[in-house]
Amino acid sequence: MRYISTRGGIAPLRFQDAVMMGLARDGGLLLPETLPTVTADVVDRWQSLPYQALAKEILALFIDDIPDSDLEDLINRAYASFAHPQVTPVTKQGDVYILELFHGPTLAFKDVALQLLGNLFEYVLARSGGFMNILGATSGDTGSAAIAGVRGKAGINIFILHPHGRTSPIQALQMTTVLDANVFNIAVRGTFDDAQAIVKAIFNDLDFRDRHCLGAVNSINWARVLAQVVYYVYAYLTLRTQGERSVDFSVPTGNFGDIFAGYVARRLLPAGCIQTLILATNANDILTRFVNRGEYSRGQVRATSSPSMDIQVASNFERYLYYLRGEDGRAVRADMEGFAATGRLDLSAFTGRVCEDFRSRSVSEEETIATISEFYRRYDYLLDPHTAVGVKAALDLRDSGRPVVCLATAHPAKFGAAVSQAIGSEPPLPPALAELTNRESRCTVLAAEIEAVKTFVAANALR
């Protein structure tokens, strides 16, 4: 298996090289040369596998430069830290199924990928004798999950940018109370889009990138997306044991990474297994406008109760655009250069094709809070605001003839203010979160400027 750039400007890479490169050197995102597919008899064989064994089967389709025994060990260690034996269990609540992705160490879906990615980085560096400085941006959960994945690991420093004052208090504490010597938190005075743009600009400075051995931990890193493919297949197989042969998924997303993993899973499985992907956005609706009208245009970021989705430039969108453009890297490059210059892409010619892959709905703040309240009243089950966005979209857009699985992307206790507004009381804090308020924290606040971040990274990077 080789990996190529969405912009067509690099030689094909092996998987380990793709993991370490993160963002392609031509500014694009990495993808497999060919997406693998499996037959119905393979799905039959996978049916009874526990999560870790299924992950090994799926990842092995995309990875041919890590021995099977090593890959199995990396996976088993990654998920040993999860509190639920099924890793990502599925539970039926009313008219929908909930795929609980919050049983990892930071209580967010990012743990599923980042516990594995941390192990992959460590594995590759141990064999090369090298080091790396991870640079990433977070709208909330990626940062704490990335830090949890690499804290204390030899040969790795990690620098995480988050928008100052725009994450939930718990999300900020999960990052800033980690005091390991290899962890550096940077709060930028701006939005997540500002932070993400800084990270991409620094990665595109190839001299700086090479000099400091930068590595990517955001979902621009293909390994992040790949690890998330597994839980779509696992959820499908769970419902298949109950007699269902076709399912829909509803995915709250701002950066397009999680739902793109669903797109890969849909293409991996035989036709019809995963039928519809419901793309749910909050008031920051760039992706909904794209699906419904073919309009991909940057707007003003609006602060909401689901801050991890407060995004107006979806960094993983380019991967899907590559397939829309018939795998034409030159066309993708032209599109992304045009978008960088104007903040707008007219993709209305593809609306019919896009609507075969996705349905989409933007969910307002009022609807989000109402959904948390109603779901709790009817089923005694708490949704975090991101999950509530996905549930509301699912209830409105689902096909009544098929089950719909809603991705629960975070534990509700991470967003106590929104939950309290919805149900009238704060959700109980798990012990791991309750103790955070008593811990010392450490964070550097910087202007949302490329040079300010580069100066800080250069002063603190491993050499």
Query: Which run of H or E residues covers position 211?
Result: helix 206-211
Whether residue 110 lies in the annotated active site: yes
Among 56, 92, 110, 200, which one carries the catalytic annotation? 110
Query: What is the CA angle 290-4-272, rounded to 5?
Result: 55
Three-class SS of 95-117: CEEEEECCCCCCCECHHHHHHHH
Closest CA to 307 of 165, 424, 178: 165
Cα(461)–Cα(231) distance, integer angstroms: 34
* Alpha carbons 191 and 317: distance in angstroms, whole number: 19
- Find, among 146, 185, 190, 183, the residue nearest to 166 by Cα: 190
Q: Are 132 and 215 in contact (CB under 8 A)?
A: yes
Q: How far is CA 245 from CA 97, 248, 269, in A?
A: 15, 11, 12
The two three-digit tokens of residue 130, written as one number: 């090298």
Distances (CA, A) of 461 to 307, 441, 453: 29, 20, 12
Alpha-carbon gap, residue 51 to 450, rounded angstroms: 41
Q: Dump strand ranges (E) for 78-226.
A: 90-93, 96-100, 132-137, 156-163, 183-189, 214-216
Region for residue 291 given its phi and psi (left: phi exceeds 0; alpha: psi -120 to 50; beta: otherwise) = alpha
- Vertex 75 angle, CA 222 and 37, to 5°: 55
Residue showing tokens 């967003």: 415
- Cα 430 from Cα 411, distance rounded (Å): 9
List the catalytic residues.
110
